[in-house]
Amino acid sequence: MAVLRLKELMSIKGIGREELANKVNVSTTTISNISSEKNLPTIQLLLSIAIVLDVDVRELFVPTKGTAVTQLEIEEAKVLLEKSLRILEGRK
């Protein structure tokens, strides 16, 4: 399963949980649960987080700048995004 790099990117960008939560209109608990991988974010929330952190949405899963991304990492990110989409659409 792909690992969401939310904690790492928040640290790099100097944005705390409360600030990010306020900017994407969710609770700090939601951000905490996503960053600790207790919950999966919706596609819309992923896009909002990427905008606030000023990164490509792919960067939330794997570094895309200055590193080689393996095919396995790409496939893992696709699986996670597809699962999130199914949840968003009300399917399991």
pLDDT recorded at residue 52: 95
pLDDT recorded at residue 14: 92
pLDDT recorded at residue 1: 42
Q: pTM for the complete prediction?
A: 0.66
Nearest 10 degrees: Cα torsion 87, 25, 35, 56 = 80
What is the C-alpha to C-alpha distance for residues 6 and 27, in angstroms, rounded to an integer? 15
pLDDT recorded at residue 72: 75
> Is residue 31 helix, strand or coil?
helix
From residue 92, give the alpha-carbon distance in Å to each of 14, 39, 49.
35, 14, 24
pLDDT recorded at residue 69: 61
Which residues of the chain are modeled with pLDDT < 70? Answer: 1-3, 63-70, 91-92
